Amino acid sequence: MNDPDSSLRISLALLVRDNPAAQAEWARAFPWLLGAAKRGVLKGYGSCSEADAEDLAKDAIVQVIQKFRAGDICHAGEGFDDLLKITHQTAWCRAVDAYRKVVRRKTDLTGEPIEPNTSANYAPIPVNQTKYSLEDILEAVNSLPPPQPEMFLARFLDGLTLDELATRFGKSYSNISQLFCRMTRTLRERLTTQESTT
């Protein structure tokens, strides 16, 4: 991908405003955001219809724009390329959630679990091939403040989507998404600290 900061000169400062010039800037930025979001969807979901990919991508873009306008993402010193990366990651998360819903629905209908496509580059790493033991991971998870351990286990063991977690814990989707970003960063730091002390 070409660097949009230099080729398009998209101004984040202009995008924050609410005026006709900002609307024109969003119109120029949208094709770039849509491309990043579609790549995120395809990475998270795999093959799906063009319409489904576009719907998921547009939902992700709406979420990113809302966070951007609220000042939750892309602060001083960051460029349009950072906004593209955030859009890609948000679309990927939404696609993974959508895929989990579909798989769970099919499992509920057939009563048999559906095996993931292990030929994809995004197949999970088996626990016995990670550099941390399961005990280390669980210890780090349990050291999180409540209700984060319960949320983490519901997400990764029970397979709940972020939307389902938001409903269960009475929070918004964006709050749950931000909480998971902080949780994974904290877990990574704690596991790295544990590794360096042993």
Please check whether residues 34 and 98 belong to one and the same domain: yes
State which residues form the domain around 175: 125-197
**120 within domain boundaries:** no
Please check whether residues 37 and 69 belong to one and the same domain: yes
Contact 7, 78 (CB under 8 A): no
Terminal-residue alpha carbon distance, the chain: 41
What is the residue type of 187?
L
What's the average model confidence in pLDDT over 143-169? 86
Please check whether residues 87 and 131 belong to one and the same domain: no
CATH number at residue 140: 1.10.10.10
- pLDDT tens digits along 100-141: 777 665 555 555 554 544 444 444 444 445 577 778 888 888
**73 within domain boundaries:** yes
Please check whether residues 21 and 64 belong to one and the same domain: yes
Q: How many domains does the chain have?
A: 2
pLDDT of 145 reads: 92
Contact 25, 15 (CB under 8 A): yes
Please check whether residues 99 and 134 belong to one and the same domain: no
- pLDDT tens digits along 37-79: 888 888 888 777 788 888 888 888 888 888 887 777 766 567 8
Please check whether residues 24 and 71 belong to one and the same domain: yes
Please check whether residues 9 and 91 belong to one and the same domain: yes
- pLDDT tens digits along 168-198: 999 888 888 888 888 888 888 888 877 666 6
Please check whether residues 28 and 86 belong to one and the same domain: yes
**99 within domain boundaries:** yes
Q: Give Cα separations from 46 to 38, 43, 87, 99, 137 (angstroms).
A: 11, 6, 17, 9, 28
**91 within domain boundaries:** yes
